[in-house]
Amino acid sequence: MRFSWLLASAWLAAAPAMGAPSFVASNGTPSFSAAQCSDKQDGDQPVTSVIGCSRDDVGSVAGTSIASFGHLGAFAQSSSHTGNSLGTGIGSEARFQDTVIFTSTNPNATTADVSANLLLHGIMDFHVDQGAAGDSVEGAVTLNQAFFFFRFFNNSLDGFSVEQNPFAVNGTLGPTTNAVLTTPLVTVALNTPIILQLRLQSSASTGGMAVAATDFGGSFKFVTGSDAFNLPDGVTVNAGTWLVDNRFIDPLAAVPEPASWALMIAGFGLVGSAARRRKLLLA
């Protein structure tokens, strides 16, 4: 069984004006989830969305998403404690759009072939006493109308799988992911504003007595300490104060890494025993 859904089917349909940055952070539950809630924050400045909701006889969900300059995060957790067919689920999504400008020291050059380097770091995990659980992470990069999309799953029936990934990978993809994803080459015009768009979504779903979470809370972003873009000799790229001479100035450098997930792992083993105790008390 695979658990995934899109919170925004046409997330780029209404692009802002050229040169205007755009940020969206949203969390929501799909129609099948017994616990229902949603939230969306957007604007021309970085935004954060946080929600949590529950249904006493089924379970609860929680989501956090954050969108900033060149840096997105999405965290989703679902837990259920029922033996019937009802389940819970949530998706958390962050999006960012801005323009970047590539320049060259060669006065005769008009275009350049470039690729982008983005870090993806997070954890997909679950604990199942009875029933099923799963989570997923997906994301996309759009540069000069070239679109590149990835989607990874991890669930109690199939384990980890890659559904789609056109990026070159330097690092590890899996339930624990820590890798630099490099886009294929894109031809861009020099000295011209180029639209750049990033998107990240995490989701988690459970049924029965189970917990699942996807923690990519602050970890889909341009790389720091090295080139944000792979560029030909003599070419560089800038975008306001967050991208200077092909170096990413991370505005969320202090965001906690997914190691905070370890605090939740300890609670996984308690889910089944707590549910069983609840049934005994009801009996």
Which one-letter amino acid corresponds to residue 178?
N
In the beta sheet, which residues pair with residue 162?
152
Q: Three-state SS string across 220-239, please? A: EEECCCCCCEECCCCEEEEE
Q: What is the pLDDT of residues 159-176, one digit of tens each?
A: 999 999 999 999 999 999
Nearest CA to 218 out of 234, 233, 202 is that of 202
- Six-digit token string for 8: 């925004």
Q: Among 47, 99, 43, which Cα is nearest to 71's?
A: 47
Sign, CA torsion 191/251/144/220? positive
Q: Summarize the confidence of residues 62-85 as an average pLDDT.
A: 92
Instruction: Tell me if 12 is assigned to some domain.
Output: no
As a whole number of angstroms, the distance between CA 90 and CA 73 comes to: 15
Residues 152 and 120: their CA atoms lie apart, in Å, by 12
Asked if residue 276 belongs to a domain, the reply is: yes
Beta bridge partners of 186: 114
Summarised one tens digit per residue, pLDDT across range 188-229 is: 999 999 999 999 999 999 999 999 999 997 689 999 999 999
Does residue 133 carry a pLDDT above 60?
A: yes
- Read off the pLDDT of residues 52-71 as tens digits, 9 standing for 90 and up: 999 999 999 999 999 999 99
Q: Find the domain containing 52 and state its range.
A: 22-282
Its sign, for the CA torsion 103, 198, 136, 62, is positive
Would residue 16 count as lying in a domain? no
Confirm whether 7 is domain-assigned.
no
Tokens of 126: 């679950």
Split at pLDDT 50, 70, 90, the class of 256 is low
C-alpha–C-alpha distance, residues 178 and 229, integer Å: 19
- Give the residue-averaged pLDDT of 249-273: 54
Mean per-residue pLDDT, 7-14: 38
Residue 73, pLDDT above cutoff 50: yes
Q: Read off the pLDDT band of 20 (50, 70, 90).
A: confident
Is 2 inside any structural domain? no
- 210 within 8 A of 130, measured Cβ to Cβ: yes
DSSP-assigned states of every residue in 155-223: ETTTEEEEEE--SEEEEE-SSEEEEEEEPPPEEEETTSEEEEEEEEEEEEEEEEEEEEEEEEEEEEEE-
Supply the pLDDT for residue 85.
74
Q: Answer for the pair 210, 89: CB distance below 8 angstroms, yes or no.
A: no
At residue 257 the predicted structure's pLDDT band, cuts being 50, 70 and 90, is: low
What is the number of structural domains in the chain?
Answer: 1
CA separation for the pair 38, 79 (Å, rounded): 17
Specify if 17 maps to a domain.
no
Q: Is residue 4 part of a domain?
A: no
Task: Report yes or no: 153 and 193 within 8 Å, Cβ to Cβ.
Answer: no
Average model confidence (pLDDT) for the chain? 85
Task: Tell me whether residue 140 is in a domain.
Answer: yes
Phi/psi of residue 262, each to 5°?
-55, -30
